[in-house]
């Protein structure tokens, strides 16, 4: 069960990364930083808002939106300048963003570890099949599939989703057809950032909000995206669940190799299907 | 334009040096004693190093205002090690080669401390390790070019084990991060507990990786272990996550929680109302009534620190403060900032009184032996988690003897061959 909820956190973060890559072809190394900012914004909002049960939920909505604004601003101010450059430049830029955001977080929020208390209603546990299960994880277990279905509806049932799918296939053609591709990129980047922020805000009550949480999540999210296939949403979902379960069961069955196991699977996937489980091979 | 930028940079540099020396210094014209301080001043170490640096600079200012050491001001030149041993050694080379510092100091990560120590031995520079904890520094890998001004793992873990031995628990489990520090803590704890109470039994062990964020499976394993009590040496952000994840399972009501670090404010404060009430753990409980009665000068020191830092002190702040004074004392005793003479001062050993009690600098291993405090996590009247029922054990009553240290060093030398 806990493996499932870990998988759900991973899904939220990695699907945003995958989405951004799928459309803009940028491997956003700063995605973990957006996750961290989401968690820190959550802390601040819960502190600032009055100590009422609704404050938690309001913060949970507002914090990811803040991250989306940040993501959008970064896309317009920085990434837009380098789309036509060498992919290596993009990696250097987003890597630089990790350092900048980490320093800014230290300046704004200071060095102390922080945390958010769970709302009282979700602080305890429930019995499922005779096993105690933290009720907060139920929220995560419920929310992530809603996001997954929501994403599916957006991509396959709206015009905006159609444009995004078209952009992943052929950007030039889309531009030639009169679509404002630049604006679409900004929206997608902000949306991907929102997903990372949501992951961070949701995770805040279960971990310590601290410097360094960006790196931890980035590595795992990256593995999830690679296994699932860069740019594939269903792939991210399946691979996030796989990795979440693997981390939980791996610890119980082969504690010594559970970390290696993750990367071993990534290596096998890369050898057998270099484009990931549900990705598309490059032509 | 370029000249102006250069002036601005030089100006900023001068300002930095002045701040580092602890403000303008009272009429001292003699050249300062310069100490290169290498520590983690970016990233996740800052929660410990910022209060530590505050304590260090507070002591440096007091020392300099009172006329300095041998009439010379002391000055710290700070470098960021980014938590990486190779970065730290690079900084050490630069400080010794270009900045011409008299001594090296610092460290939060044990790996960094050991790396600087190895460099110091080779370069014949005295390195005063401050904030890191590993016992290997002055014991297995000890040599005359390294002194350690704070606690090592052996002392506070043994103090905790001593407390554990007074309680009726026989079946023990643990959760420790799978790297040098975690193994060090568990080995020291289990060995000393068995020595004091031969009928204890280890029923289950958990070794999560350092920085693990999901602990659910370990929590389940601890619940099913049948242990009466367990020791945790996961620390910082990881321990906060562990506590938050273990709480809904009711782990702390079923198995008594002993922790090497949960009593520090960097963990208790963010945990807030989710703190593990009843946990037994070491910590610098300056706010405790018994503590303030035993150490009448403590309250005044806390006030002075708060006026300066605008924050409550931490264990690290007290370590920074003590470290600067211990370095100054060694130089005073040596009557010179000459490396060999200061090493002689350290190797002869000395004792100093601090607002929180006596710190012994032991000569045989150049290792500090401070008082240790063990308490129980409770909620205070304002609903804030604190350490209560604080008991004091001096490190000298639990630490390994000079003979035992000599054996450790001999064994380590044997291994290297």
Sheet of strand B127-129: strand arrangement: B74-80, B33-39, B103-106, B127-129, B146-148, B367-369, B357-362, B350-354
The pLDDT assigned to B8 comes to 42
Please check whether residue B222 is in contact with residue B258, taking contact to mean a CB–CB distance below 8 angstroms: no
Whether the Cβ atoms of residue B337 and residue B331 lie closer than 8 Å to each other? yes
Question: Which of A71-75, B117-121, B125-129, B245-249 has the lowest average pLDDT?
Answer: B245-249
Cα B251–B257–B258 angle (5° rounding)? 160
Q: Is the pLDDT of residue B240 over 80?
A: yes
Per-residue model confidence (pLDDT) at position A167: 84
Whether A238 is covered by a domain: the verdict is no
Cβ–Cβ gap A111/B46 under 8 Å: yes
Count of Cβ atoms closer than 10 Å to residue A125 Cβ = 18
Contact A132 B248 (CB under 8 A): yes
> How many beta carbons lie within 10 A of that of residue B204, not counting itself?
17
In the block, tokens 């429930």 appear at A126
pLDDT in tens, B31-48: 999 999 999 998 888 999
Q: Is residue A90 within 8 Å of A76, Cβ to Cβ? A: no
Tell the residue number behind the tokens 């980014």, with chain if given: B82
DSSP string, B318-361: HHHHHHHHHHHHHHHHHTS--HHHHHHHHHH-EEEEETTEEEEE
pLDDT of residue A256: 64
- Domain span at residue A169? 2-117+131-210
User: What per-residue confidence (pLDDT) applies to A255?
Assistant: 62
The CA distance from B352 to B97, in Å, is 32
| Domain-embedded: residue A71 | yes
User: For residue A103, how far is the Cα from the chain centroid?
Assistant: 21
Three-state SS at A269: helix
At residue A1, the pLDDT reads 66
Could you state, in order of their start, the residue ranges of all structural domains in chain B? 2-152+299-370+401-416, 154-290+371-397
pLDDT along chain A (283 residues), means of 10: 81 91 88 96 93 90 96 93 86 93 94 88 82 85 89 91 85 86 92 95 91 88 88 85 80 67 84 81 60
Classify residue A108: in a domain, yes or no.
Answer: yes
Residue-level pLDDT at A251: 65
More confidently predicted of B204 and A126: B204
Task: Using CA coordinates, name the residue in chain B closest to A99.
Answer: B43
Residue range B228-239, pLDDT digits in tens = 999 999 999 999
State the CATH architecture for B2-152+299-370+401-416: 3-Layer(aba) Sandwich (3.40)
Evaluate whether residue A82 is within a structural domain: yes
Q: Is residue A220 part of a domain?
A: no
Contact call for B236 and A135, based on CB within 8 A = no
Q: What percent of chain B has pLDDT over 70?
A: 93
Kindly tell me if the per-residue pLDDT of B5 is higher than 90: no
Task: Evaluate if residue B7 carries a pLDDT over 60.
Answer: no
Note the pLDDT tens digit of each residue in B358-399: 999 999 999 999 999 999 999 999 989 999 999 999 999 999
C-alpha distances out from residue A13 to A51, A71, A236, A279, B166, Å: 28, 14, 10, 18, 48
State the average pLDDT for chain B: 91
Complex ipTM: 0.84
- Contacting residues of B for A111, CB less than 8 Å apart: 46-47, 49-50
Mind telling me how many Å the CA of A254 is from chain B's nearest CA?
Answer: 12
- A20 inside domain: yes
Residues B276-298 pLDDT 10s: 999 999 999 999 999 999 999 99
In this chain, the answer to whether the domains covering B2-152+299-370+401-416 and B154-290+371-397 adopt an identical fold is yes
- What tens digit of pLDDT does each residue of A37-58 get? 999 999 999 999 988 888 999 9
Task: Tell me: pLDDT of B334 over 70.
Answer: yes
The structural domain count of chain A equals 1
Give strand pairing partners of B128: B105, B147
The CATH homologous superfamily for domain B154-290+371-397 is Response regulator (3.40.50.2300)
Query: Could you tell me which residue, B66 or B179, shows the higher pLDDT?
Result: B66
What's the whole-number mean pLDDT along residues B129-139? 93
**A176 within some domain:** yes
3-state helix, strand, coil in chain B (%, to 5): 50, 20, 30
Mutate to test the interface with B, among A47, A218, A251, A256 (most CBs of B within 10 A): A251
Interface of B with A (CB under 8 A): 42-44, 46-47, 49-50, 207-209, 211, 213-214, 216-218, 221, 236-238, 240-241, 244-245, 247-250, 266-267, 269-274
What is the rounded distance in angstroms from the CA atom of residue A62 to the CA atom of residue B356? 45
User: How confident is the model over B83-105, as pLDDT tens digits?
Assistant: 899 999 999 999 999 999 999 99
Report which of residues B64 and A143 the model is more confident about.
B64
Count the helices and strands in chain A (H runs, E runs).
11, 2
């Amino acid at each position: 069960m806990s493996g499932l909820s870990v998988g759900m956190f991973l899904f939220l973060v990695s699907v945003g990364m995958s989405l951004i890559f799928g459309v803009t072809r940028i491997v956003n190394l700063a995605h973990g930083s957006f996750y961290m900012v989401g968690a820190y914004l959550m802390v601040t909002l819960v502190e600032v808002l009055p100590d009422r049960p609704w404050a938690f939920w309001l913060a949970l909505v507002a914090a990811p939106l803040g991250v989306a604004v940040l993501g959008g601003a970064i896309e317009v101010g920085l990434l837009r300048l380098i789309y036509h450059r060498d992919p290596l430049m993009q990696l250097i830029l987003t890597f630089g963003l990790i350092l900048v955001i980490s320093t800014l977080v230290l300046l704004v929020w200071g060095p102390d570890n922080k945390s958010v208390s769970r709302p009282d209603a979700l602080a305890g546990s429930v019995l499922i099949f005779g096993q105690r299960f933290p009720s907060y994880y139920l929220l995560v277990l419920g929310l992530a599939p809603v996001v997954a279905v929501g994403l599916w509806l957006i991509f396959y049932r709206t015009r905006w989703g159609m444009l995004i799918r078209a952009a992943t296939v052929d950007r030039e053609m889309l531009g030639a057809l009169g679509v404002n591709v630049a604006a679409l990129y900004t929206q997608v980047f902000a949306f991907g950032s929102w997903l990372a922020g949501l992951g961070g805000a949701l995770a805040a009550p279960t971990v310590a909000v601290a410097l360094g949480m960006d790196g931890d999540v980035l590595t795992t999210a990256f593995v999830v995206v690679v296994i699932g296939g860069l740019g594939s949403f269903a792939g991210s979902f399946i691979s996030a669940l796989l990795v979440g379960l693997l981390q939980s069961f791996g610890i119980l069955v082969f504690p010594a190799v559970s970390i290696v196991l993750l990367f071993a699977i990534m290596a096998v996937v890369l050898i057998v299907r270099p484009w990931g489980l549900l990705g598309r091979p490059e032509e | 334009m370029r000249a102006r930028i250069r002036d601005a940079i030089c100006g900023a540099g001068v300002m930095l040096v002045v701040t580092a020396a602890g403000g303008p210094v009272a009429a001292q014209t003699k050249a300062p004693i310069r100490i290169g301080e290498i520590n983690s001043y970016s990233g996740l170490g800052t929660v410990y190093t910022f209060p530590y640096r505050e304590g260090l600079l507070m002591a440096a200012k007091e020392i300099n205002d009172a006329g300095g050491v041998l009439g010379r001001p002391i000055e710290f030149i700070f470098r960021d090690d980014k938590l990486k041993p190779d970065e730290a050694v690079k900084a050490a080379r630069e400080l010794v080669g270009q900045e011409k510092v008299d001594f090296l100091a610092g460290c939060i990560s044990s790996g960094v401390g050991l790396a600087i120590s190895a460099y110091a031995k080779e370069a014949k520079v005295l390195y005063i390790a401050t904030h890191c904890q590993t016992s290997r520094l002055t014991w297995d890998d000890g040599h005359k070019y390294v002194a350690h001004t704070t606690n090592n793992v052996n002392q506070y873990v043994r103090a905790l084990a001593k407390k554990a031995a007074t309680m009726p628990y026989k079946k023990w489990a643990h959760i420790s991060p799978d790297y040098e520090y975690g193994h060090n803590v568990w080995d020291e704890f289990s060995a000393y507990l068995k020595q004091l109470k031969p009928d204890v039994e280890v029923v289950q062990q958990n070794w999560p990786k350092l920085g693990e964020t999901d602990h659910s499976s370990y929590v389940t394993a601890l619940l099913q272990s049948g242990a009466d009590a367990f020791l945790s040496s996961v620390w910082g952000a990881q321990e906060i996550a562990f506590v938050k994840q273990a709480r809904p399972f009711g782990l702390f009501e079923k198995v008594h929680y002993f922790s090497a670090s949960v009593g520090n404010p960097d963990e208790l404060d963010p945990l807030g109302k989710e703190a593990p009430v009843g946990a037994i753990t070491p910590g610098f409980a300056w706010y405790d009534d018994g503590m303030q009665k035993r150490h009448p000068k403590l309250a005044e020191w806390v006030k002075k620190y708060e006026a300066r830092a605008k924050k409550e002190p931490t264990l690290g702040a007290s370590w920074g403060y003590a470290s600067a004074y211990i370095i100054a004392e060694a130089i005073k005793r040596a009557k010179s900032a000459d490396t060999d003479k200061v090493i002689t001062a350290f190797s002869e050993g000395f004792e100093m009184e601090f607002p929180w009690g006596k710190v012994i600098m032991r000569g045989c291993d150049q290792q500090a032996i401070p008082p240790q405090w063990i308490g129980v996590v409770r909620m205070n009247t304002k609903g804030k988690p604190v350490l209560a029922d604080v008991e004091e054990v001096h490190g000298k009553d639990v630490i390994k003897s000079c003979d035992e240290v000599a054996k450790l060093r001999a064994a380590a030398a044997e291994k290297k061959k």
